[in-house]
Copies of this chain bind each other. A is one copy, B any other.
Amino acid sequence: MNYHEAKDKFIQTWGTLGSSWGISRTMAQVHALLLISPEPLSTEDVMEQLKISRGNANMNLRDLLDWGLAFKELKSGERKDFFVAEKDIWKVAKQIIKERRKREIEPVLNVLEELKNVKGDKNDKRHKAFVESVTNIERVVEKADFAFDKAVKLDENAIVSALFKLFK
């Protein structure tokens, strides 16, 4: 496998992984491309290399900025925007967790809290099962949320070694 084949395969693989972890396929591909580029890339570079349209490139680059996974870099003498990826993959992972916590877990916790206040006959089996389910789920979601919150504030090795000690 030569450099170009490897690069392609990497972009595809990262795209697939990304899309299964909540960031869109193309966004992950753009991120992959930036990740392995030693130099900052312009929108046009991204368009050419990934063979995507200007609109698409623009939109995904902006999303990457939104997620904190890429940054603008201005070159003196150039009017174009150039982009670089966050290259510390542990930071990338933490950033994704942080964003998804905010975008997905928080709203769910709000709904669960609301649902516990459902009115109904306390002797109704369905009602009882419902409140019980919601309460259990809320408890676990809160704990997971707590764990993620802590995880994004810690460094990689601390977490891994803590889990390792627990397990030994």
Contact = CB atoms under 8 A, between A and B. Distances in A.
A115 to B, nearest CB: 5
29 contacts: A1-B114, A1-B115, A2-B118, A3-B124, A10-B130, A13-B108, A13-B112, A17-B108, A21-B22, A35-B137, A36-B126, A36-B129, A36-B130, A38-B125, A38-B126, A88-B136, A89-B137, A89-B139, A89-B140, A89-B141, A93-B140, A143-B156, A146-B163, A147-B159, A150-B163, A150-B164, A151-B163, A158-B166, A162-B165
Interface of A: 1-3, 5-7, 9-10, 13, 16-17, 20-22, 35-38, 87-90, 93, 100, 104, 108, 111-112, 114-115, 117-120, 124-130, 133-134, 136-137, 139-141, 143-144, 146-147, 150-151, 153-154, 156, 158-160, 162-167
Instruction: Give 3 nearest A-B pairs by CB, closest first.
Output: A6-B118, A38-B129, A89-B140
Nearest to A157: B143
A154 B167 contact: yes
A42 to B, nearest CB: 16
